[in-house]
Amino acid sequence: MIYASDFDQAGGLAETASAADFSIPGDCGGSASYSVSDNKTVLKYKNWCVSDEESGNIIINGVVTVTATETSSTTHYENFTIENTLTGEVERIDNMTITCNQVGEVYTCSITSDFVGTNGIIYRVENVNVTDNGINFDVAARVYDPTHGYVDFVAEGLVRDCPDGGFSAGTITVSSSDSAFEIIVVFSGCGMVNVSLSELPL
Question: Do β-strands 122-132 and 137-145 pair in parallel, antiparallel, or remain unpaired?
Answer: antiparallel
Query: Is 16's pLDDT higher than 50?
Result: no
In angstroms, what CA-CA distances link 74 with 3, 65, 85? Answer: 20, 8, 30
* One-letter amino acid of 202: L
AA identity, residue 12: G
Residue-wise pLDDT for 48-103, tens only, equals 998 877 777 889 999 999 998 888 899 998 988 888 888 888 877 778 888 888 88
Highest mean pLDDT among 26-30, 131-135, 162-166: 26-30
The residues spanned by each domain of the chain are 1-94, 104-202
Q: What is the pLDDT of residues 177-195, one digit of tens each?
A: 776 678 899 999 988 888 8
Residue 95 β-bridge partners: 78, 114
Least confident of 62-66, 148-152, 157-161: 148-152
| Cβ-count burial 39-68 (b if 16+ within 10 Å, e if not) | eebbbbbbebbbeeeeeebbbbbbebbeee
| Residue 7 predicted with pLDDT over 50 | no
What 8-state DSSP symbol labels residue 164? T
* Distances 2 to 84, 127, 192 between C-alpha atoms, Å: 17, 30, 43
Q: Indicate the pTM of the whole model.
A: 0.58
d(CA 78, CA 61): 9
- pLDDT value at 173 more than 80: yes
Q: What does DSSP assign to residue 117?
A: -
Please determine, for residue 23, whether its predicted confidence score (pLDDT) is greater than 80.
yes
How far apart CA 129 and CA 141 sit, in angstroms, is 7
